[in-house]
Structure 1
């Protein structure tokens, strides 16, 4: 017998009741997950105190590798996709490092600049609760960045006298500007740091200015891109002849959540030729090559992205977005030309070997 129009049949009623019961159980499981997350973060904070007492960095790559391997094993055991375990663990690592942050003292920081890296550092300092003033030549842009993270803003002359640590989050032309050179004498007795990717062209000039005007110059290079809350990332620290006790700077960055890498100017420039100049050079070439080959073969390859290519394509998009900064590094690094020449030579060797293998196959077919 049919049910009256609009009335659910008995089987549907049972199904809806079961659906609601399962949803309530999911809600209970979710609450249990958050209770366990909270407990995990409590343990993380205890670990952070021990690390701080023993001068250890937030990031322990060996331990992170062990945890990742264990999570992947557990994902396999319970039939959960590895990608879910990896993505969740990446977020947990990031938040855990934030919970470990507990600097021994709050510092007064003058942040000069308002670009992507200035924004990244502003987010980090806000997280650590340092006192920060944002300043720069463009007053409205400096105010805008300060407001975004609820920081203070001052004119450059006032900000340089207020801060203990002055960070020049500026491109080369900003570091070389007349307005900065006029303001730097106000930094007497303070620590001044630039964040330039390539140091060789301006390091000596800033070192000379520091000796003349009595400020301590330490060059730094954040080894990460312009994104928010870069806790656990590395930062290169390059002392100059006027740095004084550079351990103060190392401790400041370690307690601000980054992993200091102490290095010399020459070692830094050579390393950047390897990890920045050469990869960027090839990736810019790959971007151009993809466009040219797609045009000549008359194919839309966007429908055929493999998993690996999809990840690579994200990187290629970032390369296009950062082309100005990348070309700056290509121009200023003293080892850039040598790195590119060696890279092209090895690429041509690979090309010749592959073409040779193809020709050998053709010749083998001819002999059959």
Structure 2
């Protein structure tokens, strides 16, 4: 036992060194963040991340480390390093309407970037739970609209077009209002009409990440409307960059086409795959949990994540104008692959004969 204790003491010493080195690394990241702010550079530098990753993997191979372990460490390291680089150019009055997963995700960033943030919505108790989690402020909806400069609706489309939301928009003259809908063709035009009617500037957003905390370095689509001037768009892009996010400007049609590829088609496959896995395992009478491969584990993680937001996923399938085209394409390619594999099997059988 003394030998084990001695070795554990050495591990403790190494652990302390690791923590100190990580702290030093994050301090340097913070200094880099200040310089990036002064020079107007984005927080995320993908080329640099690729170089660092290649160096780590090369060294890992020399020492015999498994690559997945190194990848996991680097993903965390890159993510947290960027949180230390957030230095906003200015403070803004931001109102988040809603308290769901994406409201929580955005609130975590707004808090990190030291913005002035108010959370509001129909349900005061739910709003205050989010307020308490990130030490923010609650206001009743009308006062929040009057107070804020940037108003972000994190509500589903049906809630955005409710009497409640319409009333709030009627108070928003001179403000900048954004939604975060995943599909724009249905919502964009209607909110744009409201912006013309009530005199606010409308810039639609789509965060290209799921509801998780501190999504620094991720991308956000920015879609200008007829009521968003160049100055307004620049303000929104600067605001997004100050949150440590990467703005990507788009049109409604370009966005919905891109989401047909990036969301509709893979979600369609994964939803079907989820059902197929369960059905096949029952038909075969097999417990696949005991036989999970590395790739299968990753697939199951994706499926689990997708099922946790299944309502949003199905909404995208129903509302994206290119959904049917995406699903038709997916089915054609599945049938092509099925025919190809069936042909290979027949060829193999003929070869044996």
User: Normalising to structure 1: TM-score of the pair?
Assistant: 0.92
Q: Which runs of 5+ in 2 are unaligned?
A: none
**In the alignment, structure 1 residue 296 sits paired with structure 2 residue 300:** no
CA RMSD, 1 decimal? 1.4
The residue number in structure 2 matching 1:202 is 187
Structure 2 residue corresponding to 1:171, chosen from 152, 156, 160: 156
Among 105, 108, 112, the residue aligned to 1:127: 112
The alpha carbon displacement at 1:29 in A equals: 2.8
Residue 35 of structure 1 deviates from its aligned partner by 2.6
Pairing partner for 1:140 from 114, 120, 125:
125
**Alignment match, 1:236:** 221
Q: Deviations over 1:159-209 (max 9, x none)?
A: 111111000000011111111101111111110000000010010110111
Alignment counterpart, residue 256 of structure 2, candidates 242, 263, 269: 269
Are residue 187 (structure 1) and residue 205 (structure 2) matched? no
The match for 2:16 is 31
**Paired position in structure 2 for 1:357:** 344
State the match for 2:53 in structure 1: 68
The question of 1:286 aligning with 2:273 is answered yes
Give the drift of 1:76. 2.1
Deviations 1:306-355 (A, max 9, x none): 01101111111122221111000001101111111111111111111111
What is the distance in 2 between the residues matched to 1:364 and 1:82? 40
Alignment pair present for 1:218 and 2:203: yes
Q: Deviations over 1:22-69 (max 9, x none)?
A: 444433333332332222122212221222223222111111111111
Q: Report whether the alignment pairs 1:116 with 2:107.
A: no
Number of residue equivalences: 351
TM-fit CA distance, 1:101: 0.3
For the residues of structure 2 that align with 1:39 and 1:191, how far apart are their CA atoms?
40
Cα distance in 2 for partners of 1:346, 1:96 equals 41
> Are 1:260 and 2:247 an aligned pair?
yes
| Secondary structure in 2 matching 1:200 | coil
Q: Normalising by structure 2, what TM-score?
A: 0.96
Bigger Rg, which one: 1
| Deviation (angstroms), 1:20 | 4.7
Answering whether residue 94 of structure 2 is matched by residue 87 of structure 1, we say: no
Stretch deviating more after TM superposition (78-87 or 263-272): 78-87
